[in-house]
Chains A and B, each alone.
Chain A
Amino acid sequence: MNFNLSKEHIMLQQMYKDFAEKEVKPLAEETDEKEQFPVETLEKLKRYGFMGIPFPKKYGGEGGDILAYAMAVEALSKVCASTGVIVSAHTSLCAAPIYEFGTEQQKEKYLIPLAKGEKLGAFGLTEANAGTDASAQQTTAELQGDYYLLNGTKIFITNAGYADIYVIMAMTDKSKGTRGISAFIVEADTEGFTIGKKELKLGIKGSATCELIFENCKIPKENLLGSEGKGFKIAMQTLDGGRIGIASQALGIAEGALEETINYVKERKQFGKPIAAFQNTQFQLADMYTKIEAAKMLVYKAAFHKENKLPYSKEAAMAKLYASEVAMEVTTKAVQLHGGYGYTREYPVERMMRDAKITEIYEGTSEVQKMVISAHLLK
């Protein structure tokens, strides 16, 4: 067993940190405050290869691996969780399914610009009445000659409005339940496709979350991803991968909160000494750090599994379950250690605590993760 990062990964870590500190961190507060999608950052992310980390060079990617991708989301989320999820949704939920299930032509047309960062990607599964129960899909796709006609509404879609390419789930055969779901690649400017209302959220406010509305939206037949009826499988496998991204995001948020807290407790004085001198503070920090390291092990292990083509569904679920709970716990403690200041926007831990909560919810709630994990145990 080897816990050492490779030379490449050590160098990546340094580059990510440098980039995040200098390019992303200075904008994090404004991104949150103004609920503003960080368009300029996206341009820089593209320039340095953040949008195509785990894909081969022949598809416009960086030729990296899943761990390199997970570490990137972690490093970005450490300073700005909104930026982290933009990369995660783009990579795991849009580019990855096209890479894994797409035809050569689809990869050529869609994966290459996605991996190069020329196009931004998104993923649409959730509906008003189909959350955890993804099989209750109402969106339909009806084959009419060379086209599918897409009708329905998706909600809570990350990167919506800014994305150019969407992977959308829709029922092609309602009678078959989950086996009647198919996946489609939908371009943003397709006629009949509009962006609905933007959600106002507790956290990750810089990430755009909107409705997608399809009204007789004509999708060329060749944009069917995989084959008819494969959509549910594609969605589930995509979410397995996505969970590694979200787990990395959660890990990053927790690390960011710990770092802020360490700086704060050294400076903040009460009763004539820095609060770092009090044992309560010390013990809290020790707990926070230990849990973060444990979460990191799970996240990196899940990445290792996916990279090495080992089963990773359970590993990804455990990583996300644990890392998101750690993120919530660590950020809450961070706010507590900051005291009254922690509750204000003068310190970033307030934002981090708000950002952390979503990691327990999206791409499968903690409860869904427990279902996935226990199903593996009881099979």
Chain B
Amino acid sequence: MKIIVCIKQVPDTTEVKLDPKTGTLIRDGVPSIINPDDKSGLEAALQLKDEVGAHVTVLSMGPPQADLALREALAMGADRGILLTDRAFAGADTWATSCTLAAAIKNLEYDLIIAGRQAIDGDTAQVGPQIAEHLNIPQVTYVEDLKLQEDGLLLKRSFEDGYYMVKVKTPCLITTLKEMNEARYMRIGGIFDAYREKEVDIWNLKDIQIETSNIGLQGSPTKVKKAFTKGAKTAGKVYDVAPKEAAERIIEKLKEKFII
């Protein structure tokens, strides 16, 4: 069984802080991580590797630094890493991103493609389904549980008010939820392997077959017109007082707003 896991390197947005004065983001020193939903997808793939000896390729589109995310995936146990990187890919929206990833995937053999439901820096949840469309294969999104069956996969597809049990034949694409599993840590020997034994292949524009009108900024139907910060809301009063007095201040406020 051949599995491709699409991962994205994202800033750990839980570590992003606000400058209280300007209301802008402080990005300095924010660590980069594998997007959590993607990491669970990778874990699901590695479990299939443990179970039936699947071959796991991790694929990421991003700047050269995304090498680190791929090495981490290799250290967790993935077999091959591919970094899709080219200045021409920059500025891509989800449509252009999915076209580019799909073009890369067309160079590979696969039975199953796994992508995380959504990335924590963009939260769009679009790239997975769009890749599936470009490849013309079935998709099952919001997957919470996965079982391998003789002729395909049995999946638990989550909704707000319940779930479906869905059977799908391979090849197909699924998007996974972080809640699906607890991703393993890198293995110590795996870290050495990731740098000394395994390779991250670098693919540029010339390595995939795609119309340049479908990539990067120019291939993106959506454009960012403007980006802005909300600006800091003016803070109310902060009291550092004994619990009893603190409680009184709270009660006072609740009364003032007619809550009690």
Interface residues of A (CB under 8 A from B): 6-8, 11-12, 15, 18-19, 47-50, 53, 57, 61-64, 68, 72, 269
Contacts and interface: CB of A to CB of B under 8 A. Distances in A.
Interface string B68-93: 10011001000000000000000000
Contacts of A8: 191-192, 194-196
Contact of A48 (B72, B187, B195, B240): B187
Q: Which 4 A-B pairs have the closest CB atoms?
A: A62-B189, A49-B188, A62-B188, A15-B186
Nearest to A6: B195
A269 B241 CA distance: 12
B163 interface: no
B185 interface: yes
Nearest to A23: B185
Nearest to B197: A63
A49 B195 contact: no
Contacts of B68: 11
Interface in B155-206: 184-196
A53 B68 CA distance: 22
B71 A11 contact: yes
A50 B188 contact: yes
Contacts of A18: 185
Given A11-B71, A11-B72, A11-B75, A53 B195 contact: no
A48 B187 CA distance: 5
The number of chain B residues touching the other chain, given as a range, is 10 to 19
Given A8-B195, A11-B75, A64-B188, 16 more contacts: A6-B195, A8-B194, A8-B196, A11-B71, A11-B194, A12-B191, A15-B191, A18-B185, A49-B188, A53-B188, A62-B192, A63-B189, A63-B196, A64-B192, A72-B188, A269-B240
A15 B191 CA distance: 9
Contact of A63 (B71, B192, B240): B192
Contacts of B191: 8, 11-12, 15
B188 A12 contact: yes
Interface of B: 68, 71-72, 75, 184-196, 240
A53 B187 CA distance: 10
16 contacts: A6-B195, A8-B194, A8-B195, A11-B72, A11-B194, A12-B191, A15-B185, A47-B187, A48-B184, A48-B185, A49-B187, A49-B189, A61-B189, A62-B192, A63-B192, A269-B240
B185 A19 contact: yes
Q: Which of B185, B186, B188, B191 has the most CB of A within 10 A?
A: B188
Nearest to B71: A11
B188 A15 contact: yes
Nearest to B190: A49
Given A8-B195, A11-B71, A11-B72, A64 B189 contact: yes
Contacts of B192: 8, 62-64, 68
Contacts of B187: 47-49, 62
A12 B191 CA distance: 7
Nearest to A51: B188
B43 to A, nearest CB: 14
A50 to B, nearest CB: 7
Nearest to B182: A22
Contacts of B184: 48
B195 A7 contact: yes
A286 B189 CA distance: 36
Contact of A57 (B71, B186, B189): B189
Contacts of B72: 11
Contacts of B240: 269
A68 B186 CA distance: 14
A18 B195 CA distance: 20
A11 B186 contact: yes
B194 to A, nearest CB: 7
Contacts of B194: 8, 11
A337 B228 CA distance: 44
Contacts of A63: 189, 192-193, 196
Nearest to A61: B189
A288 B85 CA distance: 44
Q: Which of A50, A62, A64, A68 has the most CB of B within 10 A?
A: A62
A332 to B, nearest CB: 31
Contacts of A48: 184-188
Contacts of B188: 12, 15, 48-50, 53, 62, 64, 68, 72
